[in-house]
Amino acid sequence: MPNVAFINGSFMPLAEAKVSIEDRGFQFGDGIYEVIRTYKGRPFALDAHLARLDRSATALDLTQPYSCAEWTHHVLEGIRRAAYPEAKIYVQVTRGVAPRDHVYADELRPTVVMTVREFHPLDRSVQAAGVEAITTEDIRWGRCDIKSVNLLANVLARQQVKKAQVFETILVKEELVTEGAVSNVMVVQGGTVVTAPEGSRILSGVTRAVVLDLALSEGLSIQERFVSQADLYEADEVFLTGTTVEVLAVVRIDGKVIGGGRPGPITQRLAAGFTSRVG
Ligand code: PLP
């Protein structure tokens, strides 16, 4: 069954999956989500994604309908039914269906949606060459640590990416680099890997945590602090981390060449280390 969907406990073909127009996800963006991918058919870091889903739910006073074990069961079943070589699993929980009113009733039943689609990894040639990025003002709200479906600022930022014909945009708030529109950003300065600290200004990426752990185990020094936009251009290396991008070198930002204009040695080392961790 290609492109599997799941709504509130039932699997169905994606084309048949429907939710009410009174769903608060549709009306208010009142919901949370996760994106998980498989390696060799197995979901990567599923527990970390489910833990983050739990944190997002708690932050929004949203009832999590399933335990970690139940979620795992549904995700594995979705992967089995879709039967793709590699899959991208999208899970979403919204506060539920109710007549439109900002205020919500405590007893609402959340709407749970999952889709399983084929995942096409980035081309090896893109990984090998690195990508180009632009910077955009980070106009997002004050709780970027919550993985909310309310993604309007990210949508506008990604549209700038499309217009500029680059790969990603690096968001800048008050002259400090926060993260990418769909990724975390790491900078190498004099052999140290620097990335924005966890907190309300970034989404704490599952891949970010894996890569920081990897860097430490490789004997690299890491610093969790903000870097300025000026320092970004002057960095020895810049790379993105994320579920779909893995560890991906950025070799040009706003038209300025970063480092040597090709993936640097630390980025390459971490990309190779990441590949061996997921394989
Ligand atoms: N930051 C933002 C804004 C994201 O949307 C994402 C992924 O979608 C990430 C960071 C990377 O998170 P993860 O490594 O958990 O995929």
| Each residue's pLDDT tens digit, 237-270 | 999 999 999 999 999 999 999 999 999 999 999 9
Q: What is the CATH number of the domain that holds 266?
A: 3.20.10.10
- Residue 217, classified by CB atoms within 10 Å of its CB into exposed (0-12), middle (13-18) or buried (19+), is exposed
Q: Is the whole-model pTM more than 0.85?
A: yes
CA 37 to ligand 1 center in whole angstroms: 12
What DSSP assignment string belongs to 139-188? Answer: ---S-TTS-BS--HHHHHHHHHHHHHT-SEEEEEETTEEEEESSSEEEEE
152 and 226 both lie in a single domain: yes
- What are the pLDDT digits (tens) for 143-174? 999 999 999 999 999 999 999 999 999 999 99
Where in the sequence numbering do the catalytic residues fall?
Answer: 147
Q: Residue 12: which domain range?
A: 4-118
CA 243 to ligand 1 center in whole angstroms: 7
- Residue 54, classified by CB atoms within 10 Å of its CB into exposed (0-12), middle (13-18) or buried (19+), is middle
162 and 92 both lie in a single domain: no
For a mutational test of ligand 1's pocket, the pick from 184, 185, 204, 277, i.e. the residue with the most ligand atoms closer than 8 A to its C-beta, is 184
> Residue 50: which of 89, 3, 4 has the closest Cα?
89
Last-in-domain residue among 90, 118, 146? 118
| Atom of ligand 1 minimally distant from the CA of 184 | 10
Last-in-domain residue among 102, 118, 134? 118
Last-in-domain residue among 96, 118, 140? 118
**Total tally of structural domains belonging to the chain:** 2
Protein residue with least CA distance to atom 10, ligand 1: 183
